[in-house]
Structure 1
Amino acid sequence: MFAPGADLVLGIHAAQTARQRLCAESLDITPALHWRVTPGPDHNRRLRLSAPPGRLRVRYAATVAIEHHVAAPASLAEVPVHGLPDSVLPWLLPSRYCESDVLHGLALEQFGRLPRGHARVTAIRDWVNRRVRFRSGSSNASTTACDTARSGEGVCRDFAHLMIALCRAVGIPARFTTGLDYGADPALGPSDFHAYVEAYLGHRWYLFDPSGTALPMGFVRIATGRDAADVAFATIYGPVDPAPPVVGICAVAGEDGELRVPLATAMALSTDGG
């Protein structure tokens, strides 16, 4: 409910990447309003609209075909800073929610002596998963990676922020990714938006889920950014009385009629073009 109206920027559209192909999508907005979808960096798309006073309903649906790049974890090396593409360098820097500079000492103590490569990123993921307890409502929009390290609890975005900060602190580019939580434990509640991590290894971005609540093979990528500030699901300018979003995700048969349900796997997965 909007009174006296508001401007909205929504990050709900599925990304189109070299390995996540958009088969179909639809958008229904009630009441009918002028809207536009603007392209952003790294295949991000943002829905922009201005809502008059009263109720607003936005319904977005998409079908995507995902063909992961699959690699053996042991084959993935860290890329030294001098070998990183210019476009990847920003993902090494501290950001609003990922204070890698503050966590540098902790990261070196825990992970500085580990062999470099996919195994070190996995060790960071597992450390965050062990040290942080998933608890709904335990954090808010101002909670940072340092806050989560101190409190030891959070939701998926907090797990992701902490893992990203620790990766960056030891020289591993990492970014915050939004998507959907396919395969999440029903005990956590209904389907929802999700936050996970992409780390740069072997000149490609690979998926990691430090919260351990969903199946990476089932993630539908929406957007990537330095942290949650870059890729909020909804940024609203004006007063609003929001209702909780209703989110659904399921596996469907492909164009060949075959149903391939996402599974847990020990292989490294990427939906980046490389």
Structure 2
Amino acid sequence: MKFKVSAELAYEVKAPSTLILNVHALRTARQTVLQEELLIDPYIKAEELPSTNGENRFVRLDITEPGEFSIKYEATVDNYYEIKDYRSFQEVPVSRFDPAVLTYLNPSRYCQSDKLYRLANNTFGQINNSYSQVVAVTEWIHKNVEYLSGFSNSETSAYDTVTQQAGVCRDFAHLGIALCRALTIPARYFTGYAYKLIPADFHACFEAYIGGEWILFDATKLAPLNGLVKIATGRDAADAAIASIFGDVYCNYVKADCQMVEDEPFNPIYYTKSVFDGVTYL
């Protein structure tokens, strides 16, 4: 399934600064970047930074002169999605986790799983299947947290979202990650482009490590799971920010979009439930 994604950003620079962008579509075993272009006006040299774990494609811009500049990124991406039945999968014990996965069991800046241990285990601990636990977490967040555009800020954490019971996609993702980690299920942040997201924007959700694989979940249910194009993953939003600014720089404009390239039938995939009986239907 092919998608055309794009991002447009505009900045005003008051003094020499450095900007690290994170808008490039990620290359993975299931996501192929067929074509892409990055345009910067006026021209600024862009350096793509190597990713140690293959979880992002950071681009660094060193801006030496004050002024305004704009960035436009476009790419055509071919994605492959697979539906699996995880109701009777083989659990992988922590002792057999790949070492790279272990970091996603720990609390992080926005995902204080240690503070949510009691809530997670009292609410979901009786479910004896990790996949069904994560689906139950997703459904619980969707039911108990109200999506309110602009409600939270860059300091809002999963613990804040539980108490305030409102947030944006970033907050839904952080809460899902924190509750999964409290249940000893590795989970990581996902940011990407989203097809059929209204209004069009960058989107955040999360992945849980189940049966030796990373599985995608979205508690907002604002975009179909098979309409997401991955940009980056990380422990939380601090690892996968669209832009990290070092210096006197102000963002004046942000726009993201995702459209299908081919005129082919699109059958959206969402998780639905019956949850607490341990069965989830796709």
TM-score (norm 1): 0.90
Runs (4+) of structure 1 exceeding 4 A deviation are: none
Higher mean displacement: 76-85 or 106-115: 76-85
The verdict on how the C-alpha distance between 1:16 and 1:262 changes in structure 2, with shifts beyond 3 A counting, is: farther
The structural deviation recorded for 1:54 is 0.6
Question: Structure 2: which 5+ runs fail to align?
Answer: 1-11, 273-282
Distance 1:147 1:131 in 2: 13
For 2:135, the equivalent position in structure 1 comes to: 122
2:21 is the alignment partner of 1:10: yes
For 2:234, the equivalent position in structure 1 comes to: 225
For 1:180, the equivalent position in structure 2 comes to: 193
For 2:94, the equivalent position in structure 1 comes to: 81
2:57 is the alignment partner of 1:45: yes
2:221 is the alignment partner of 1:216: no
2:177 is the alignment partner of 1:171: no
TM-score (norm 2): 0.88
Aligned residue among 2, 13, 21 for 2:32: 21
Give the partner amino acid of 1:135: L
The 5-angstrom pairing of residues 85-96 of structure 1 reads 85-96=98-109
Q: Is 1:24–1:64's contact at 8 Å kept on the other side of the alignment?
A: yes
Higher mean displacement: 24-33 or 108-117: 108-117
Q: Is 1:77–1:116's contact at 8 Å kept on the other side of the alignment?
A: no
2:264 is the alignment partner of 1:259: yes
**Deviations 1:180-213, CA, capped at 9 Å, x for gaps:** 12222x3xx3x10011110011111011001111
For 2:77, the equivalent position in structure 1 comes to: 64
Question: Structure 1: which 5+ runs fail to align?
Answer: 268-274
Q: Is 2:209–2:215's contact at 8 Å kept on the other side of the alignment?
A: yes
Aligned residue among 77, 96, 114 for 1:101: 114
The structural deviation recorded for 1:234 is 0.5
Higher mean displacement: 215-224 or 240-249: 240-249
The structural deviation recorded for 1:262 is 5.2
Identity over aligned pairs, percent: 41
SS in 2 for 1:113: coil
Residues paired across the two proteins, number = 259
Name whichever structure is richer in strand by fraction. Answer: 2
Distance 1:164 1:42 in 2: 20
Q: Is 2:111–2:174's contact at 8 Å kept on the other side of the alignment?
A: yes
Distance 2:90 2:208 in 1: 11
Q: Once superposed, what is the RMSD of the aligned Cα atoms?
A: 1.5
Distance 1:263 1:102 in 2: 35
